[in-house]
Chains A and B, each alone.
Chain A
Amino acid sequence: MVALLLLPLHPTFAQNKNPYSTSKTATKAGEFEFRINCALCHGLGAHGGGRGPDLTQAHKRHGDLDADLFRNISQGIPGTAMPANGTNGQGVGMTDEEIWQIITYLRSVQVRAPSKNFGNAANGKKLFYGDANCSLCHMVNGKGGRTGPDLTSVGISRTVGSLVESVRNPSQRLAWGLTEPTKEFAQRYETVIVVTPDGKEIKGVTLNEDSFSLQMMDTADNIHLFDKDKLRAIRKDSKSLMPVYPPATLADKDLNDIIAYLLDVAKK
């Protein structure tokens, strides 16, 4: 009796194959749904951006099968900014049918050939932990610094273009990550400088902030907890703490190697 009552609520959970497959009508309908529900983070055309991964890539970190995509859209991906269907409180939830239409659309824009390996990942790893100094601020798989974002999965959650931009022009998209849908995640993109009551200047990144308090990490990875009204000054800098790496400092070939390493790590 209980099973009978529950079954109609989730008729497609047992389904792991897209019922629409390559239907053109479903592809078109899926595109509308994608624009309404997904483009906010994954961009028009599913090419990703600063917030959500490029979904045109055949390989997806949280599963490549239709059933994986269905699960990820329906239930969200814990520990990431990907919300469960209908739970982000803005916009409407999707029916199972609409989710399958979105999957049909994603398959239609999927890049068939895997992106070619354009760098030497082994050399990239050496640079990451060595001469390029990335690991002073960034962690990969638990190894590295803390001031910058963890880069373990960045190779798959960001486009190559945005990775290149982050290195060549790190302040360009500093606002990314501060938007409302991802508000609950750490805001380690914003540079903050405070002056303490005894005149000491501390520079670092904002961990969290409200009208009355500030939590920050300085460049030596120390956490500081402040009441704003007790500080002499608080300054925000639109310039990222991430140094600019022009081609003279980091050659295109070396940058490609580092990105190849990040792509490689992210896929594992």
Chain B
Amino acid sequence: MRAIDVMKKVHSLAVAICFSSSIFMATNACGQVTFERLLNSSKEPKNWLTYSGDYGGHRFSALSEVDTSNARSLVVKWVYQTGATGKFETTPLVVDGILYATGQDDRAFALDARTGRPLWMYQRQLPPDIRPCCGRVNRGLAILGDKVFLGSLDAHVISLDSRTGNLVWDASAVDYTKGYSFTLAPLVVKNLVILGVSGGEYGIRGFIDAYDADTGQRKWRFYTVPGPGEPGHETWEGASWKIGGAPAWMTGVYDPATNQLFWPTGNPSPSNRGEGRAGDNLYSNSVLALNADTGKLNWYFQFTKHDEHDWDATQVPILIDSGGKHLIAQANRNGFFYVLDRTTGKLLSANPYGKITWSNSKDSEGRPVPNKESSPTRTGRTVCPGALGTTNWMSPSFNAQTGLFYVSAREQCDIFSTAPQPYEAGHAYYGSAYFPSDEAEPYWGALRAIDPGNGSVKWEFRHPSPTWSGVLSTAGGLVFTGDAEGNFIALDAATGHALWHFQMGGAVYASPMAFEVGGKEYIAIAAGSSLYAFGLP
């Protein structure tokens, strides 16, 4: 009875919002998210419809109620607690007053975005023998029509009814016992649910999949390690391609003009040992330009060839159009900020945005070349950045109004060691280890604002230790980020000056987003085990 009441309330809320909203929504059934709405997400800044807020990966909100003049008045509007332990890495979606998000252990939930009151909750019954790397995390949902989609830690793709959380379909992608899992938020393009697999620590063979949103039927798969007879196969020694890794564990971006996905890939396996996999190891640590309908490869660019430092290139790339040029920019884990021409995949520039010691030179294309003495050794060798990189999976943000690219940078060097290790299916396969360098300074971090035009750092805001928080920029002239000490911080996007902060009581392992409901702007971030929404009093 109560559930029905809740649902009635939700419907009346949603209807009210739909009627008071733009003509845009009048063309859609209420609560229905069409591909057209996803394409035109910038026209409805009240909603946050994809992981990065738009197809270009900008993580920018056009909302401006909260701005540099009033940010210091921000207060907590509500808090939702998952009750789960472990890292809470979600970015919520918001559609017409309802917030959808995921939590630890493959939870998913829908909340009244005004109050944080739950509408439904789903939790997958995971098999006891999953062993995902780096925590039992999930970074979020995709939405289309009246369904939301998530990838699970046991490598299933799951569709839930957006009004009830009921399971609609469940597709097994691959055998999880071999080390495969999904941790990313899927991306919906047209009628396809697209996602890449995790498992670079297990000697998997990476892939990117597309599923029919209605049925869960797999429409295409692109293996990020080419098989025999395919171009790029020759970049792997012997049979090493079979366990070559190159996972695709972060959400890619989409360019409607060319119907291309730009999907980033991760490290070759084993991550710390190049012996046994001589060659460039395509398409590890690359960005892939794929036809969204077919998964066919148009071009690729490999950031780190034959990687031995676990420098996945899975950071969300950002599509930037500037001066008639169609660019793609990525702050890479290896410490360089790359700008490519996304029509051709040609490298335009690569500049360090943090401390790097692994490269002193560039090849004829301008790509940084590793120094000979940067490879791991049996007893260990110090290299900067460390294995966790100058940045990692936390999202950057691009604000076309300031023209700046904002990224959370980590300053940490590691000692990289290597040792021969036989492959065993489903067992960790790193080829040894890395550990912090005692000789190096204590780690620290910074939010950096980079000018993509020349790669220079315009300002930085220092954190006492490296953060795992992503960045949101807004039309209010603000940048939002979190820190490892539990603060959520609003900064002036032009100067990096901190205007406001709030102590949330738990470290941030998530990227912020913004939405509007009831005429009020909210900024949301996960920290500890809680999801916080902030707004003006």
Contact = CB atoms under 8 A, between A and B. Distances in A.
Interface in B500-537: 501, 503, 509
Contacts of A183: 465, 484
B134 interface: yes
B343 to A, nearest CB: 38
Interface hub of A8, A40, A44, A98 (most chain B Cβ within 10 A) = A44
A31 B420 CA distance: 11
Contacts of B432: 32, 35-36
A95 B426 CA distance: 10
A221 interface: no
Contacts of A210: 464, 483, 485-487, 503
Interface of B: 86-87, 128-129, 131-135, 201-202, 379-380, 388, 417, 419, 421, 427-428, 430, 432-436, 438, 440-443, 461-466, 483-487, 489, 498, 501, 503, 509
B433 A36 contact: yes
A149 interface: no
Interface string A85-106: 0110111111100100000000
Contact of A175 (B132, B134, B438, B463): B438
A40 B486 contact: no
A40 B414 CA distance: 10
B487 A39 contact: no
A32 B419 contact: yes
Interface of A: 8-9, 31-33, 35-37, 39-41, 44, 49-50, 86-87, 89-95, 98, 173, 175-176, 178-180, 183, 190, 209-212
Query: How would you classify the secondary structure of chain B's contact residues: helix, strand, loop or mixed?
Result: loop
Given A89-B135, A175-B438, A35 B485 contact: no
Contact of B428 (A49, A91, A178): A91
A180 B466 contact: yes
A44 B487 CA distance: 35
22 contacts: A32-B419, A35-B417, A35-B432, A39-B435, A40-B434, A91-B133, A91-B201, A92-B134, A92-B428, A95-B129, A98-B428, A175-B442, A176-B438, A178-B442, A180-B484, A190-B442, A209-B485, A210-B485, A210-B486, A211-B462, A211-B464, A211-B489
A44 B134 contact: no
Contact of A211 (B134, B202, B419, B498): B498
Contacts of A98: 427-428
Contacts, number: 100
A207 B489 CA distance: 22
Contacts of B129: 95
Given A92-B201, A183-B484, A211-B489, A40 B464 contact: no
A176 B485 CA distance: 18
Nearest to A212: B501
Contact of B443 (A8, A49, A180): A180
A179 B436 contact: yes
Contacts of B379: 44
Nearest to B378: A44
Contacts of B487: 210-212
Q: Give 4 closest A-B pairs by Cβ, nearest first.
A: A210-B485, A89-B135, A178-B442, A40-B435
Contact of B419 (A35, A93, A175, A209): A35
A49 to B, nearest CB: 8
A8 to B, nearest CB: 8
Given A35-B419, A211-B487, A87 B86 contact: yes
Given A211-B463, A211-B464, A40 B131 contact: no
A249 B461 CA distance: 44
A173 B483 contact: no
A93 B379 CA distance: 24
A232 to B, nearest CB: 19
A16 B486 CA distance: 40
A210 B87 CA distance: 20
A89 B133 CA distance: 8
A45 to B, nearest CB: 9
A49 B436 CA distance: 12
Nearest to A176: B438
Contact of B131 (A95, A175, A176): A95
B421 A32 contact: yes
A17 to B, nearest CB: 23
Contacts of A179: 436, 442-443
